[in-house]
Amino acid sequence: MQLDTIKKRRGRPAKSGRDTTNTKTELISSGVEHFTQFGFASSGLDQILKKVSVPKGSFYYYFANKEVFGLAVIDYYDNYFGRKLDSHLKNDQLAPEQRLISFVDDAKAGIERYNFNRGCLVGNLEQEIAVLPESHRDKLVMVMQGWQNKIFDHLNVLCPDAEQEEHHLLAEFFWIGWEGAVSRCKLVQTTKPIDIFINHFLQLLKK
């Protein structure tokens, strides 16, 4: 309630006749695209606002400040990525191991589609953590834990006889390795680092 008061006092909706909910979603979507490519700390709001034709004064109707906007962007990306994970890992038309490979292939195609200029928003923000607001650290930890839980659940399907503690460790290891591989792809302009990581991860599961 207090946040709504701040928003209304500091700005007003864009005078375009557009729906305020749609405008807020467009702003967040633009933020995801921009922060994924250029990072959060060094990015201003001007280019994000320009892309969706929202004046800077109107921004504060939707978000109290850049920090709050950043949290909304992380939430949006988390929901998007979580659905993507589920669409692969819960696909009963594929064998359990193939579901993980399907996710990997989808991610590789996305990285190539954007010419290695983006990657994973959460992984990118982790690299900026020293200059991000503390609220972003807490949010990123929570998001990563949610993703680890999804991999943990899948490992229980993939290797039902293994120890639960081992699956927890493997799920955490997966995301540590995955984010590093995605980041390396941007550096070397090829998805080979992801291939190396996933091949070794799958071999580890068979031991």
What is the CATH class of 70-207?
mainly alpha
Q: What is the mean pLDDT of each run of 10 residues along the chain (207 residues)?
A: 39 58 93 94 92 90 95 97 97 96 97 94 95 96 98 95 93 97 96 98 89
Domain spanning 1-64, CATH class: mainly alpha
Predicted pLDDT at 9:
43
Q: Which pLDDT score, from 0 to 100, does residue 89 have?
A: 97
Q: What is the pTM of this model?
A: 0.88
CATH 1.10.357.10 residue ranges of the chain are 70-207
Per-residue model confidence (pLDDT) at position 11 = 56
Give me the half-sphere count of Cα atoms (radius 13 Å) on the Cβ side of residue 169: 7
pLDDT of residue 18: 56
By the 8 A CB rule, do 197 and 134 touch?
Answer: no
| Alpha-carbon gap, residue 108 to 111, rounded angstroms | 5
- Where, residue-wise, is CATH 1.10.10 in the chain? 1-64
CB atoms within 10 A of CB 4: 10
